[in-house]
């Protein structure tokens, strides 16, 4: 495998027991859609690839990738089995990237923080709620 996206996708496929063809197919069964969500989130988290580039690799639209990343974050929060699967994919992807000379990924020791948590932290730290600015 060459290229970061191919390595990440291959790692996710291996851990999730899904073929690369299934990942790129139009099949919407649960194991395959979970693998797509994890692929999108990992590639975005590790390398900040654009949603367009993520989507092009697996024959999806950029908006589908935006939703996949958000859904993955939500699943990580509420589903312990999904969270465990995600972390296994993350470890496998990092190992494969290191073995193939692509160890220039972003720091991943930080916990995944959702947008809702960021808003909540800002409310606590700054003592205000977000309000729509009138122009």
CA 132 – CA 39 distance, rounded (Å): 34
The answer to whether residue 113 sits within a structural domain is no
The answer to whether residue 67 sits within a structural domain is yes
Take residue 122 and report the two structure tokens written for it.
């800002």
The answer to whether residue 125 sits within a structural domain is no
The b-or-e profile of 66-78 (16+ CB within 10 A means b, else e) is eebbebbbebbee
CA 12 – CA 82 distance, rounded (Å): 13
The answer to whether residue 35 sits within a structural domain is yes
Domain membership of residue 46 as a residue range: 4-108
CA 8 – CA 95 distance, rounded (Å): 10
Q: Looking at the 3D structure of the chain, how many domains does it have?
A: 1
The answer to whether residue 129 sits within a structural domain is no
Mean of the per-residue pLDDT values for the chain? Answer: 83
- Condensed to tens digits (0 to 9), the pLDDT of residues 80-109 reads 999 999 999 999 999 999 899 888 887 655
- Condensed to tens digits (0 to 9), the pLDDT of residues 39-93 reads 999 999 998 899 999 999 999 999 999 999 999 999 999 999 999 999 999 999 9
pLDDT beyond 50 at 23: yes
Give the domain CATH number at 18: 1.10.1750.10
Helices (H), 48-79: 51-57, 62-78
The answer to whether residue 44 sits within a structural domain is yes
Q: What are phi and psi of 134, to 5 degrees?
A: -90, 130
The answer to whether residue 74 sits within a structural domain is yes
Q: Which residue has the higher pLDDT, 105 or 132?
A: 105
The answer to whether residue 133 sits within a structural domain is no
């Amino acid at each position: 495998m060459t290229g970061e996206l191919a390595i990440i996708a291959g790692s996710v496929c291996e851990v999730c027991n899904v073929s690369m063809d299934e990942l790129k197919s139009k099949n919407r069964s649960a194991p395959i859609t979970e693998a797509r969500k994890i692929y999108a989130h990992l590639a975005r988290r590790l390398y900040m690839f654009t949603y367009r580039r993520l989507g092009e690799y697996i024959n999806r639209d950029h908006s589908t990738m935006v939703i996949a990343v958000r859904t993955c974050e939500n699943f990580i929060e509420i589903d312990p089995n999904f969270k465990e699967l995600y972390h296994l994919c993350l470890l496998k992807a990092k190992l494969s990237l290191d073995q193939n000379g692509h160890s220039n990924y972003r720091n991943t020791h930080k916990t995944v923080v959702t947008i809702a948590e960021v808003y909540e932290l800002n409310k606590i730290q700054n003592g205000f709620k977000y309000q729509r600015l009138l122009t």
